[in-house]
Amino acid sequence: MFESTPVSVKWGMAAAFALLAACGGGTTAEPPTPSAPPAPEVRQLAQGSVRGVDAAAINGTYHWKGIPYAQPPVGARRWKAPAAPLAWSGIRDATAFGAACLQNGRIYGPGANNRHDATIGTTLNNPVGSEDCLTLNVWRPANGGTGLPVIVFVHGGSNISGYTADPVYDGAALARDTNTVVVTLNYRLGVLGFMNLPQLKGGTDPDEDSGNFALLDIVQALRFVRQNAAAFGGNADRLTLMGQSAGAINVWALMASPLAAGLFQQAVPLSGGISLASNLPPGTIPTLNPASTYLTQANGLLARLAIADGLAADLPGAQAWVGTQSATQIADYLRGKSGATLLSTLLLNGLTGSGPIPDGAVLPTDPIAAIAAGHYHRVPVLAGNTGEEGKLFAPFLTLFGGPPGFRIDDATRFNMMEAFDPDAPTALTEGDILDAAYTPSNTPVTGWSARAAQLSAAFMAPSRDNVLNTLKARQAEVWYYRFDWAQQPAPWNTVYGAAHAFDLPFLFGNFGPSLFANTIGGNANRSGRLALSAHMMATLGAFAHHGNPNHAGLGVNWQPWPAQLRFDATLTVPQISVVP
């Protein structure tokens, strides 16, 4: 915000000019024209100037959106390590989000317009976004502060979907209330972000040959942020890398990656892990797959593309055709396919899984073993989970021999949530959403809540314990919270409750409009919800500033893991406690 020149200074300047005129023998000297201070929304980066938005009067921040942190990974650059962005001349517009990275539509991704809107319900399972997507966004408080801590957030979405234009990731409230610089970034998804195919490996760059293009994107984004942090008033040496779900998996991966040395000083991985099946007890679900999983996926994609193009009649024939092609021919063949064709082929053939590839170069073949051996970046860690993670993973209940948890498809569920009015009476019941096998939801053993808890115990909890216990053996600076808030209007308080990702609106201070906004919001829970959100943002802010999440507002003594801080609230007041 511009500051006016003080009156006393103005008077002093005028008096000086008058005195000069009186002594100048009839010739009056014109005062020099002062240059206007630069607009606060214009910043000079290493690559060129950017003009963002002065939103000081709206939300107390300045922000910049859609800044390229790498060259577009298109054409010959598909399945290549990200290249630093080219410099630009003039002032680049940075007022709108960049495109989401190409993905098959899900309710957790964008609609046709790169934002949260009604088209999400009509684009499910259809390609949305663009391969030209490596951009980031910046928010900072509308004050003159410099040397501010920087929080870089990596979105979730199973590493196959997600986008920074999701309203829940708007960084304004977090930046303003914690006095930090907040950055969100897009990164390549699915097989465009993680691809383990021998014919794409050049043999000269082990990082690029890893197939971990999404991790390389995040590393490049961190380098860009560090290079330009001061331009936004940030401290490049006080950077917190934060991610949720798949974003947390990627944060854990970078904690064990040699490439990320020195790029961040603190980590906040939420609802994610980095454990292989071999690290976990039998019957649990890993958060990391071996490289062989993605080799099978890549070979399957290549074979099915060949069949679709009439180059072979079946899988054995496709494998034989591949054997007649050079690596260069296969690479050219795949780069000649549209991204939409790649995604539709993956979806049609059930090949859509994605995630970090433990290749031994970018990511150790066993990250947990690497951490146990001390081969990781020792930084303070603030980890977290929600108390009912499993309630967002309804399809996974088939792993226990039952039907999927939801009786309605995603399009119906999306439209149902969009139309829901949290402040109006409703005839909607949990039976309209949940499969009859799991209702009433509070039935012991077989009810929705019990089955979701069984899923949480088999999925998120084992990876959490595995990585945090391994980390705690190497360092003391490991804190953990659990988010237990479940005060939504019925029936969502039982359908979702403290489900996976439901801590995000509280951490960012954003309760709408977004995917779950109507199911979370309402006047009845407003006081408790906003008070809890303020405490959670203050906790994240304390960690970003000091490397320790404790602050006076919590009112409790929060010890490192295995102690747990519990974030909860009634309809009207927060309830924060510590479980030793």
Residues 120-136 have a mean pLDDT of 98
pLDDT beyond 70 at 128: yes
Instruction: Cis check for the bond before 462: say yes or no (omega within 30 of 0).
Output: no
Could you tell me how many helices (H) and strands (E) the chain has, helices first? 19, 16
pLDDT score for 32: 52
SS3 of residue 105 by DSSP? strand
What span, in angstroms and rounded, lies between the C-alpha atoms of 181 and 149? 6
Q: What is the pLDDT of residue 217?
A: 99
Q: pLDDT band at 39, cuts 50/70/90?
A: very high
Q: What pLDDT does 69 receive?
A: 99
Q: For position 3, what pLDDT does the model report?
A: 28
- Per-residue pLDDT of 472-490, as tens digits, reads 999 999 999 999 999 999 9
Give the number of other CB atoms < 10 A from CB of residue 352: 18
Q: What is the end-to-end Cα distance of the chain in Å, rounded?
A: 46
pLDDT value at position 33? 53
Question: Which residue type occupies 296?
Answer: T
Mean pLDDT, to the nearest integer, of 356-380? 98
Residue 28 backbone zone (phi > 0: left; psi -120 to 50: alpha; other: beta): beta
Q: pTM of the predicted model, to two decimals?
A: 0.93
Is the confidence at residue 119, as pLDDT, over 70? yes
Residue bearing the bigger pLDDT, 9 or 218: 218
- Segment 344-370 shows an average pLDDT of 97
Domains of the chain, CATH where assigned: 42-366 (3.40.50.1820), 380-493+512-580 (no CATH)
125: pLDDT strictly greater than 60: yes
User: 28 falls in which pLDDT band (50, 70, 90)?
Assistant: very low
Q: Taking Cα atoms as reference points, which of 194, 197, 208 lies closest to residue 249?
A: 194
Q: What is the secondary structure of 130-161 as a DSSP string?
A: BS---EEEEEEESS---SEEEEEEE--STTT-
| Average pLDDT in the chain | 94
The predicted model gives 160-187 an average pLDDT of 98
Question: Among residues 247, 232, 231, 218, which one has the least CA distance to residue 179?
Answer: 232
pLDDT at residue 442 is higher than 60: yes
- Taking the C-alpha atoms of residue 313 and residue 320, their distance in angstroms, rounded to an integer, is 11
Instruction: Answer with the residue of higher pLDDT: 20 or 517.
Output: 517
Query: What's the pLDDT band for 38 if we cut at 50, 70, 90?
Result: confident
Cis peptide preceding 356, ω within 30 of 0 = no
Report how far residue 444's alpha carbon sits from residue 451's, in angstroms, rounded to the nearest whole number: 9
pLDDT of res. 37: 67
Q: Give the tens place of pLDDT for each residue, 277-320.
A: 999 999 999 999 999 999 999 999 999 999 999 999 999 999 99
Lowest mean pLDDT among 19-28, 246-255, 396-405, 541-550: 19-28
Give the containing element (helix H, strand E) for 17. helix 7-22
Q: For the segment 45-75, what is each residue's pLDDT rounded down to a tens digit?
A: 999 999 999 999 999 999 999 999 999 999 9
Kindly tell me if the per-residue pLDDT of 339 is higher than 50: yes
Angle, CA 326 vertex, CA 323 and CA 330 arms, to 5°: 90
Q: Which helix (H) or strand (E) holds 483?
A: strand 478-483
